[in-house]
Amino acid sequence: MRSKGIFLLMMILLFVACFSVCESVFAGEIVAWGDNIIGQCDVPDGDDFIAIAGGGYHNLALKSDGSLVAWGFNGFGQCEAPVGNDFVAVATGFYHSLALRSDGSLVAWGYNTYGQCNVPAGKDFVAIAGGGYHSLALRLDGSLTAWGYNSVGECDVPSGNDFVAVATGFYHSLALRSDGSLVAWGYNNYGQCDVPAGNDFVKIAAGESHGLALKWDGSLVGWGRNSKGQCNVRAGNDFVDIAAGGAHSLALKVDSTVVAWGDNEYGQCDVPVSNEYVAVAAGSWHSLALIEPGGLPNDPPIADAGDDLVADCNEVVTLDASASYDPDGWLIQYTWKRLPDEVVIYSGVEPTCQTRVLVGRAEEVIELTVKDNYWATATDTVRIVCQATPPIADAGDDLVADANEVVTLDASASYDTDGEIILYTWKRLPDEVVIYSGKESNCPTRALGRVEEVIELTVTDNCWVTATDTVRISCRTIQDLKDQVAAMQSQIKQLQQQNQELQDLVEKIASLPPIRRWLSGDKDGKPEYFNNNF
């Protein structure tokens, strides 16, 4: 039982607290005790109830199939619940009833002398509460709306978009802010609007003229009228749920037992012994609870974000979660977020929504989270690939410059066939030092005096697709030296060729036969001659 209670404590943070209404993460049977003068404790059969609310002399319950059941006093039609299977939350006033549909709209019926059943239009409501003769609702944007009897300001809701839970007394209203603080307004003759200070509250309840709150540490606090001891809360840090009736209070403990205190004239504080309770609620002089019939589990929903999409940059696409489902209930919320920044695109009751493909992303990942009627969740993702033609990068013609000369890098010939270039980036290679990055296609730079430097251009289009090109800058002074060296090398080559030709000639002459030539005189009476051998 303790583990189940801890689970309940965590879930309380997700559920909306309102006057005489409880919602459970389990389907169960209803138990009622106290005043039964008109059948308000004659609970309907079944073990598939997931939410209950207690009014003046009547009750309203929500079944796991999304339908409603009401019983008790019906003098004003407050028990004539509308037909349908799309309800997700219930609340009751003294003689009227309210329900929240899965599409975020409201419906109310019963006593309507003060317009307490004239619900506001819209499909952005997430929580409801019913007071004596007025009603209160919380919108998806965190703001409040109230209607009905307002003679003492019970419908003069505070401004703001930071509310997360609501509750109503007979002539006063109560709300919990996202920072854990409380605010109350309306009739305050018993101090019921003098809320305790602090930022550690997680759940609220309002009785006829008193308030009750559950703190983060599992302790309780009560204030307002205490004529029957209804504000004398039980000690301890093991509470997970609360409810407030006419002049009595109830609390669910972590061990799944229930305690009650305050007015007990009709036995409304005589809690039936059990350690299988999962939620509590209270009417004016009677009490209710959901009891677990063996712990019926909830199968989590199945999230299906649809097939991956291919779209043009800035195109509007439809995200479709219609294939998502819940095997043992129904889905009450669809939330789409962009990853990784988790920006919410849409959160509501519709399975589809439209979004525009972001400029500057080649691919987006969108996360879908679905929530079922037990508030269990599941997630899935869909990818949107930006279908874009890469741009054409043109870094211009190669350049020749003197060392330290300022030259202009020109990318004006670059273009994008299906969009526009939004960024030009020039880098020196190979160290990749950025020379310029911005919207201008041209930029000046100073030649470093290297024999040759390579500058890389990267252009980025409006779909964040890139292309690159390079341009070379040769140093003119060094180029002249290179030209001189090349000329000298050419001359050396010519001399080497001439020397080779001379050597070839000498070798050719040396290979000729001797040539004798008579001399003009002799010494010994014989003619002399010489040869051509050297």
Q: What is the 3-state secondary structure (H, E, C) of 231-283?
A: CCCCCCCCEEEEEECCCEEEEEECCCCEEEEECCCCCCCCCCCCCCEEEEEEC
**Mean pLDDT score, 305-333:** 88
Tokens of 56: 């003046």
Tokens of 369: 């989270």
Tokens of 395: 């870094």
Tokens of 386: 């930006």
Q: What is the pTM of this model?
A: 0.55
pLDDT confidence of residue 193 = 98
- What is the C-alpha separation between 299 and 23, in angstroms, rounded? 18
Residue 9 has pLDDT above 50, yes or no: no
Is residue 349 a contact partner of residue 104, using CB atoms and an 8 Å limit?
yes
**Mean pLDDT score, 225-248:** 96
Lowest pLDDT segment from 50-64, 211-225, 284-298, 463-477 = 284-298
pLDDT confidence of residue 470 = 95
* Cα dihedral across residues 46, 50, 52, 58: positive or negative: negative
Higher pLDDT, 510 or 114: 114
Rank 55-59, 348-352, 381-385, 442-446 by mean pLDDT and report only the highest: 55-59
From 395, 391, 398, select the one nearest 410 (Cα to Cα). 395
pLDDT confidence of residue 22 = 42
**Mean pLDDT score, 31-48:** 92
Residues of the chain with pLDDT > 70: what percent? 88
Residue 250 has pLDDT above 70, yes or no: yes
Cα 392 to chain center, whole Å?
A: 36
Secondary element (H or E) of residue 507: helix 476-510
pLDDT confidence of residue 348 = 86
pLDDT confidence of residue 223 = 99
pLDDT band at 292 (very low <50, low <70, confident <90, very high): confident
Across the chain, how many H-helices and E-strands are there? 2, 37
Structural domains of the chain sorted by starting position, each given as residue range(s) with its CATH number in brackets:
2-291 (2.130.10.30), 309-386 (2.60.40.10), 390-534 (2.60.40.10)
**Mean pLDDT score, 311-319:** 86
Tens digits of residue pLDDT in 80-101? 999 999 999 999 999 999 999 9
Residues of the chain with pLDDT > 90: what percent? 65
Tens digits of residue pLDDT in 405-452? 899 999 999 999 878 899 999 999 998 999 999 999 999 998 886 778
Which residue in this structure is represented by tokens 């039982």? 1
Tens digits of residue pLDDT in 152-206? 999 999 999 999 999 999 999 999 999 999 999 999 999 999 999 999 999 999 9
pLDDT confidence of residue 161 = 97
Strand partners, 262: 248
DSSP state of 78: T
pLDDT band at 6 (very low <50, low <70, confident <90, very high): very low
- What is the C-alpha separation between 208 and 89, in angstroms, rounded? 21
Residue 487 has pLDDT above 60, yes or no: yes
pLDDT band at 505 (very low <50, low <70, confident <90, very high): confident
Q: Residue 57 in 3-state DSSP?
A: coil
- Decide: residue 206, CB within 10 A, 0-12 exposed, 13-18 middle, 19+ buried: buried
Which residue in this structure is represented by tokens 């909306």? 16
Is residue 105 a contact partner of residue 124, using CB atoms and an 8 Å limit?
no
Residue 524 has pLDDT above 70, yes or no: no
**Mean pLDDT score, 501-527:** 65
The residues, any chain, with a CB within 8 Å of residue 378's CB and separated by 6 or more, are: 300, 301, 302, 303, 324, 369, 370
What average pLDDT does the chain have? 87
* Cα dihedral across residues 156, 160, 161, 165: positive or negative: negative
CA distances from 445 to 47, 230, 252, 324, 453 (A): 80, 82, 75, 57, 12
